[in-house]
Amino acid sequence: MKPSIPVIAIDGPSASGKGTVAQAVAKALGFHFLDSGSLYRLVALAALNSGSPWSDEKALAELASKLDVKFRDGLIILNNQDVTESIRSEACGEGASRVGAVPGVRDALLQRQRAFRQPPGLVADGRDMGTVVFADAPLKIYLTAGVETRAERRHKQLKQKGIAATLPLLLRDLQERDLRDMSRAAAPLKPSPDAHLLDTTAMSAEAATEQVLTWYRGLREK
């Protein structure tokens, strides 16, 4: 732990827009950015590639502890292969939610995530940033939006990438993933008691970013 280096922890359910907001906040402050979901997606991809079933917790924890990953110039390299785009697939998102329920996987990824805490500061995006990984973060946000709005946002994103998806299926997948993330025993998705709640159902990403920056500036003035 490096308590003197500030962390802004942003947690919330899938497709709530927290990635967009977290990146914009990091850019505005010149802070580092951790997309912790990408680590779970990488473990899922490694499991799919090696044929390890989701039920084999020991094999999944082993994959997580041996993950050969490099974050370089905005690219994500796994075993010397560029997987920046492939980990964004719905299959990796679904797999991430399965491997994320395995305590051994979470333990194996803990130090890797904490190593992102470097000067001048870090914006960390995930499900347990404020509750577990950076429990001492001076600013915690729980960012959410109604499930229909989230499904529509994900639909628009996929369409822009030329990926076919239907709204009812996306809605069902999001609901299933939220339920799994919120009900698991290991680090379930829930707001930290000291988190600011931010509902972006009727709010643009720019307005949400501004709100987080206002909270952060308010903290520094105290």
Q: What's the number of CA atoms in the CB half-sphere (13 Å) around residue 157?
A: 16
**What single DSSP character describes residue 195?**
P
Q: Is 33 helix (H, G, I), strand (E, B) or coil?
A: strand
Kindly tell me which of 173 and 214 has the beta carbon lying closer to ligand C5P: 173
Please state, as a whole number, how many other Cβ atoms lie within 10 Å of the Cβ of residue 4.
Answer: 7
Which residue's CB comes closest to ligand C5P? 37
Shortest separation between residue 222's beta carbon and ligand C5P, angstroms: 28
Indicate whether 173 belongs to the interface with ligand C5P (CB under 6 A): no
Q: Does 93 bind ligand C5P (CB under 6 A)?
A: yes
Residue from 92, 90, 74, 91 nearest 82 by CA:
74
Q: Are 51 and 140 in contact (CB under 8 A)?
A: no
Closest distance to ligand C5P from the beta carbon of 6 (Å): 19
Contact with ligand C5P (CB under 6 A): which of 6, 17, 37, 130? 37
Q: Is the peptide bond before 120 cis (omega within 30 degrees of 0)?
A: yes
Interface with ligand C5P, residue 177, by CB under 6 A: yes
DSSP tally for the chain: helices H, then strands E: 8, 8
| Contacting ligand C5P within 119-158 (CB under 6 A) | 126-128
Q: Which of 6, 17, 100, 130 binds ligand C5P (CB under 6 A)?
A: 100
| Residue (148 or 218) nearer to ligand C5P, CB | 148
Among 6, 9, 10, 14, binds ligand C5P (CB under 6 A): 14
Give least dist CB 220 to ligand C5P, A.
Answer: 26
Rank residues 127 and 153 by Cβ distance to ligand C5P and give the closer one. Answer: 127
Q: How far is the CB of 188 from ligand C5P (least distance, A)?
A: 9
Q: Rounded to 5, what percent of the chain is helix, strand, coil?
A: 50, 15, 35
The rounded distance, in Å, linking the Cα atoms of 198 and 50 is 39
User: Which residues make up the interface to ligand C5P (CB under 6 A)?
Assistant: 14, 36-37, 40-41, 93, 96-97, 100, 126-128, 177, 181
